[in-house]
Amino acid sequence: MELRKCINRSIIGLIGSIIIILSEFFSWFSDSSLMEIYISTMSVAIADAFLFIFPLMSGVICLIASILMIYKIELKIKSIIIFFVGLGFLIIFFIDYIRIIISYLGYLPNAGIGLYLAVVGFLLILINIINVLMTIEKRTDGN
């Protein structure tokens, strides 16, 4: 029963992490996905190329935190810290990538499905963090 309750709470973070990982392979502001942009940029400017795998890294980090929380509920505070690290990568990506798009084009073009998936995944993970922090575990030692 304890495992079922834990899985029900953590499924939102698990889904959000998977959605962020999937957003890497869908188009954002152009007709190419971030993985395609990463591969094409890798041959030109290696330092700039790693920015495009930040959503993938963020999704994997948040997925690890979700699995850790499902595996052992006692590690929920450590999992929340890991979630914040993963979301930090995604926020850095959002700020830097949108700044690059605006400085390059002068405006923000129509967004593709990848941006919407990343935002939905980000919001689901935030909801999961709030949900986990709001739940109060009952003490089992009798006091």
Q: What is the pLDDT of residue 4?
A: 59
Can you give the pTM of this predicted structure?
0.81
pLDDT of residue 143 exceeding 60, the answer is no
99/109 Cα distance (integer angstroms): 12
Q: What is the pLDDT of residue 50?
A: 77
Q: What is the pLDDT of residue 5?
A: 60
* Residue bearing tokens 């790693």: 50
Spatial CA neighbour of 125 closest among 3, 22, 19: 19
Of the pLDDT bands very low, low, confident and very high (cuts 50, 70, 90), residue 46 is low
pLDDT of residue 141 exceeding 60, the answer is no
Express each pLDDT in 103-121 by its tens digit.
777 666 777 888 889 999 9
Residue 141 dihedral angles phi and psi, to the nearest 5°: -90, 0
Taking each helix axis from N to C end, the angle separating 2-23 and 76-105, rounded to the nearest 10 degrees, works out to 20
